[in-house]
């Protein structure tokens, strides 16, 4: 049964007691997962097609976090993920930086695809709830 199409549903288990409603919703989810995978592949291809990034300067100063957008002028920090490459002559180049803020109205989850733990939590029925990573957590009492 597993990996077979049965009544229009691609079976993923051999469980005998899955309801028709469950199987229908699971099939809808499977198709959405395929769409999401295809979209991730498209985004990955766009990243690979980025032109060569700028050379990264020697950061003996403290402007690195500011320059890459993980700190504002007042020193307030936010999360980012930056990718660098080294070309054949040894030059370090900035390739990509991702932020939680993808737009003015998207202030969270912008780097989730790059942080697998969120994807694992999102597999559960409970999901991640309203939990989001912070730069600091309260100390245990």
- Per-residue pLDDT of 27-45, as tens digits, reads 999 999 999 999 989 988 9
Q: Per-residue pLDDT averaged across 62-80, rounded?
A: 87
Contact by Cβ (8 Å): 24, 9: yes
What does the pLDDT look like over 95-132, one tens digit per residue?
999 888 888 888 777 777 677 777 788 788 888 777 76
Q: Give Dmax over CA atoms of the chain in angstroms.
A: 64
Angle made by CA atoms 103, 106, 111, in degrees to the nearest 5 = 90
Q: Coil, strand or helix: which one is 3?
A: coil
The answer to whether residue 136 scores a pLDDT higher than 90 is no
Evaluate if residue 134 carries a pLDDT over 70. no
pLDDT the model gives residue 33: 93
Q: State how far the Cα of 79 lies from the Cα of 74, in Å rounded to an integer.
A: 16
Segment 54-63 shows an average pLDDT of 81
Rounded Cα–Cα distance for residues 9 and 14 (Å) = 13
Residues in the chain: 141
């Amino acid at each position: 049964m597993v990996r077979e199409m049965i009544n229009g549903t691609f079976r993923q288990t051999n469980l005998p007691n899955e309801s028709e409603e469950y199987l229908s919703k699971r099939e809808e989810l499977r198709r959405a997962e395929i769409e999401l995978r295809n979209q991730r592949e498209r985004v990955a291809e766009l990243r690979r097609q980025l032109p060569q990034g700028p050379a990264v300067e020697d950061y003996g100063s403290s402007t690195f976090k500011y320059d890459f957008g993980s700190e504002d002028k007042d020193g307030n920090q936010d999360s980012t993920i930056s990718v660098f490459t080294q070309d054949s002559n040894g030059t370090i180049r900035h390739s990509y930086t991702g932020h939680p803020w993808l737009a003015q109205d998207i202030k969270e989850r912008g780097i989730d695809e790059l942080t697998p733990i969120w994807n694992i939590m999102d597999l559960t029925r409970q999901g991640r709830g309203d939990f989001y990573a912070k730069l600091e957590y309260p100390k245990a009492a």
